[in-house]
Structure 1
């Protein structure tokens, strides 16, 4: 939406609210709170799409006035953390749906390449996964427990180790975006090829379903947020390559800030994935229906938060639908 259209659509609400604040007119707490939430949503949108504009400055001033009136002689709201995840971030992330789609397509493409390479070269899996892992897994298969790798460490140790490692991979995907996005693409490529060859390895052993129903219990969220972290790196890369009307430095700083927000959003999901891998995946004896339920709910959670919710909030607070 163009800035002029955004202003035209909402200016009557802003002027009315400004008048109530300036004239110290009595406003019910519920009305004041509802108006404040709406103004801050508009401010978030303006900072995203019209950063530094008069509209953004005006809304920032209006929100500040409302904040002082609401929180006068009170401490800062304790719900700022919750508001970031439930409203501010999803609304902000709407603008990066294309980068998310591109990140997913690249990951899927290289996963297919990894599987194809493993199918045509017997040594490829060992080159990617390492001899130690392959030999250990072959031994587990002979012992009729192909997923035993998820049972070797204690629950807590695996949870902490996996979570830290996954966050490290996410940060790499983001920070390597400073190499004009090429570093991020390398991270995507490495992880996708590993996944593709990994899944083909079990397929070749006649264990595709046994591996998939186990691995994707945690992998649904884990792989998804790696793709999302890569999206953050692509945002940084795009800010360098395509600064638009900004100077390249201004665009880069904005890209870093926006990418960092995306990475921060993934941390709770990395923790969930680590918890599932440490405490749940190891229970390979669980019924298939339960594994399918966990995988399905995980996929719904990711799609809802990173795709459906951003579109829903954009329609509600920007398009007015």
Structure 2
């Protein structure tokens, strides 16, 4: 290989890549247009091949070192820039995409909420009509603790907060993902999970209410429940959407309906995970803490729920004006 002729032929590409990299380093990746970004990626692959050839033919340590630096700069800008764009896409989704998905699919979320609330009302009604009903839903040892000793069970979390918090997260995520996956049973399993959890909350609420422990009970529930329960409603709505695709595909073929509603459901699931992680931390460390006064727990719970409603209602600035 004629080294000087090879260098003369390849050097314009090296200089062109160096110029593009200098522009990015000074002004950022956004200063390049789409064609220039594609050109930079092509030049990077070409210069990488040149570096390999330079090493093979021993063209000189100085040139090899310069090509190494050039390829290293290219790699950092191309792949770190790609990762930055991915993170920007994640931020944009949680900033605007998730609220838009919630607003677009509010009917399914509302139905899931209604099923859950129906479970609460049914449990409340039957628990007052027949005291034996509670034993069908609530463990007997818990009933005895509340009824006979007038104590709540949250104190068991104190002292083992990290373990309890992680266990709570795992359990809530399991329930939520099961509710979503329950859509493949035509939504029947999703409905059961929502109704059963509503029955459980309703039975517990009635039990503590009958024994004058409602105030500390709801003080415990409000801080984490303000995120945990809406997350379950989102998961339930996602499961109902999948069930709807199976039972009522509408104008779509069933396979196409599953793809369409499945992608919508997946967006809701992306909102469920961070909500349950935050709720698990609150339930493990804040809600059962005896040092924190109950009024403050109510305030935090109501405040978190208000922020959640505000977040779910937000729209991009461009959508807030009418033509």
Shared fold (TM-score, shorter chain, > 0.5): yes
Q: Contact between 2:238 and 2:268, CA under 8 Å: does it hold in 1?
A: yes
Give secondary structure in 1 for the equivalent of 2:225.
Answer: helix
| Unaligned segments of structure 1, at least 5 residues | 1-28, 34-63
Deviation digits for residues 237-278 of structure 1, max 9, x if unmatched?
A: 111222222111110122222212211211111011101110
**In the alignment, structure 1 residue 154 sits paired with structure 2 residue 154:** no
Q: Contact between 1:137 and 1:149, CA under 8 Å: does it hold in 2?
A: no
Question: How far apart are the structure 1 equivalents of 2:205 and 2:285?
Answer: 22
Q: Which residue does the alignment assign to 2:174?
A: 168
Tell me: CA distance 1:285–1:203, structure 2 relative to 1, closer, same or farther (3 Å).
farther
Tell me: CA distance 1:201–1:66, structure 2 relative to 1, closer, same or farther (3 Å).
farther
- Select which of 68, 73, 79 maps to 2:88: 79
Q: Which residue does the alignment assign to 1:123?
A: 132
Q: Contact between 2:165 and 2:281, CA under 8 Å: does it hold in 1?
A: yes
Give secondary structure in 2 for the equivalent of 1:283.
Answer: coil
Moved more, 105-114 or 165-174: 105-114
Q: Which residue does the alignment assign to 1:288?
A: 294
Tell me: CA distance 1:320–1:239, structure 2 relative to 1, closer, same or farther (3 Å).
farther
- Select which of 277, 295, 305 maps to 1:299: 305
Question: How far apart are the structure 2 equivalents of 1:187 and 1:281?
Answer: 24
**In the alignment, structure 1 residue 205 sits paired with structure 2 residue 188:** no
TM-score (structure 1 length as normaliser):
0.71
Tell me: CA distance 1:67–1:294, structure 2 relative to 1, closer, same or farther (3 Å).
farther
Give secondary structure in 2 for the equivalent of 1:79.
Answer: helix
What is the root-mean-square deviation of aligned Cα atoms in Å? 2.8
1:48-197 equivalences in 2 (<5 Å): 65=34, 68=37, 74=78, 75-76=81-82, 77=85, 78-138=87-147, 141=150, 145-151=151-157, 154-197=160-203
Question: What is the CA-CA distance between 1:289 and the residue it aligns to?
Answer: 3.0
| Unaligned segments of structure 2, at least 5 residues | 1-26, 42-76
Give the number of the structure whose alpha-carbon radius of gyration is greater: 2
**In the alignment, structure 1 residue 276 sits paired with structure 2 residue 285:** no
Aligned length: 255
Deviation digits for residues 14-65 of structure 1, max 9, x if unmatched?
A: xxxxxxxxxxxxxxx89x79xxxxxxxxxxxxxxxxxxxxxxxxxxxxxx95
Deviation digits for residues 263-302 of structure 1, max 9, x if unmatched?
A: 1211111011101110011123423331121111121132
Tell me: CA distance 1:66–1:228, structure 2 relative to 1, closer, same or farther (3 Å).
farther
TM-score (structure 2 length as normaliser):
0.71
Tell me: CA distance 1:176–1:200, structure 2 relative to 1, closer, same or farther (3 Å).
same
Tell me: CA distance 1:67–1:160, structure 2 relative to 1, closer, same or farther (3 Å).
farther
Question: How far apart are the structure 2 equivalents of 1:318 and 1:179?
Answer: 39
Q: Which residue does the alignment assign to 1:218?
A: 224
